[in-house]
Amino acid sequence: MRPTSAQVAKLAGVSRTTVSFVLNNVEKSGISNATREKVLAAAAQLGYEPNAAAQSLASGSSATIGLVLPDIHHLYVDSFLSRVVASVSEEVRRHDMKLLIETVDRGDTFGYQRLAKNGRIDGMIVVNPRENEYTVLAEINRDFMPLVAFGSRRRSQQTCAEFSTTSSDNFFNARLAVKHLIALGHKNIGHISFSSDSFTSVNSRERGWLAALEEHNLNARDIRESADLSAESGYHACLRLLSKKQSFSAIFAGNDTVAFGIIRALIDKGYRVPEDIAIVGYDDIPLAAYGAVPLTTIKTFPEEHGRMAVKTLLEHLKGISEPNHQKFDSHLVIRESCGARK
């Protein structure tokens, strides 16, 4: 049905070997220009496209990379992850490779192994691995294929060295955000996290919040609630926080999407932002400047970050095998929700 390399070879009057050499630009094969032209013309005439499965089987590589997402629900509600997917997709494509999107359930060790063994992909990028997954990932990197963990670096140096990571320093940035609030005079600063703290990134931001408080001898350990990625969950978490009757004058939100919900809850309850309660978010999502109160937030760079993960992976695929740890700088973007202005 679809033309095969044999048909191209026949039409061009050469062997399949030659067709393969020409189409794959094998340097050392020394194909004459005349032969090359004939092959190319024949392939074009037949509309020939190599069968990827056959190529993969024969060559042992699939020219595909896998992007493993922690939980597909994240994509529904938060824009950070979609920007990662977009940039990874773009970068993969720029290198003439394909992108397979995978989800692995919470702690499903076999899921990772299946993916590593079935030969569909040559390498994988794992977004926001959970604390209990590092062991499997290290095994995969050692035994099967290069792997880059995106978005979090574990505290333990030792485990971390086992595969490459690209991360921004969630701990440092969260601490920075909270210190900004402290510098503005806030003493009671709550925190609403954006997901389960089994995710390293969630966990690190929470630790950053606590660290900033401790450095300034503040205690706000109990002014804390968990949301679950969506603005709606942030809204409800904020209501729960308010119902505790603890006093606080600022909230550090685990991410911007949640911050949107928090701000709406505060407004609905008659608080002014930032006059009564100040807010700092995290991520600088595209809508951050366009909400009810333009959001002061930690700007992250998911696109650059995604591209870097792909580049690192491709280097490993080319044979550079020393794991490395890329760090991304972030910085505070000051808008109105923190009260530093006006």
41 is a site residue for a second copy (CB under 8 A):
no
Query: 152 Cβ partners below 8 Å, 6+ apart?
Result: 128, 129, 165, 167, 170, 199, 200, 201, 204
29 binds, among DNA, a second copy, none (CB under 5 to 8 A by kind): DNA
Q: Is 239 a residue that touches a second copy (CB under 8 A)?
A: no
* CB nearer to a second copy: pick between 35 and 103: 103
Q: Which does 292 bind (CB under 5 to 8 A by kind): a second copy, DNA, none?
A: a second copy
Picked from a second copy, DNA, none, the partner binding residue 257 (CB below 5 to 8 A depending on kind) is: a second copy
Residues near 291 by beta carbon (within 8 Å), at least 6 away in sequence: 260, 263
- Per-residue contact string for residues 314-333; x = within reach of a second copy by CB under 8 A: --------------------
| 303 contacts a second copy (rule: CB under 8 A) | yes
* CA diameter of the chain: 85
* Separation between Cα atoms, residue 216 and residue 112, nearest integer Å: 43
* Interacting residue with a second copy among 106, 117, 269, 341 (CB under 8 A): 117
The mark string for 263-292 relative to a second copy (x by CB under 8 A, - otherwise) is xx---------------------xx-xxxx
Binding partner of 31, given a second copy, DNA, none, CB within 5-8 angstroms per partner class: DNA
Per-residue burial over 142-168, b = 16 or more CB atoms within 10 Å of its CB, e = otherwise: eebbbbbbbbbbbeeeeebebbbbbbb
Which of residues 20 and 330 has its CB atom nearest to DNA in the complex?
A: 20
Residue with tokens 């006059």: 275
Residues 308 and 165: their CA atoms lie apart, in Å, by: 10
Give the footprint of DNA on this chain (CB under 7 A): 1-6, 13-21, 23-24, 26, 29-32, 34-35, 48, 50-51, 54-55, 57-60
In the list DNA, a second copy, none, the entry touching 83 (Cβ below 5 to 8 angstroms by class) is a second copy
In the complex, least distance from residue 213 CB atom to a second copy, rounded to whole angstroms:
27
Give CA–CA dist 307/297, Å, rounded: 23
Please state, as a whole number, how many other Cβ atoms lie within 10 Å of the Cβ of residue 56. Answer: 16
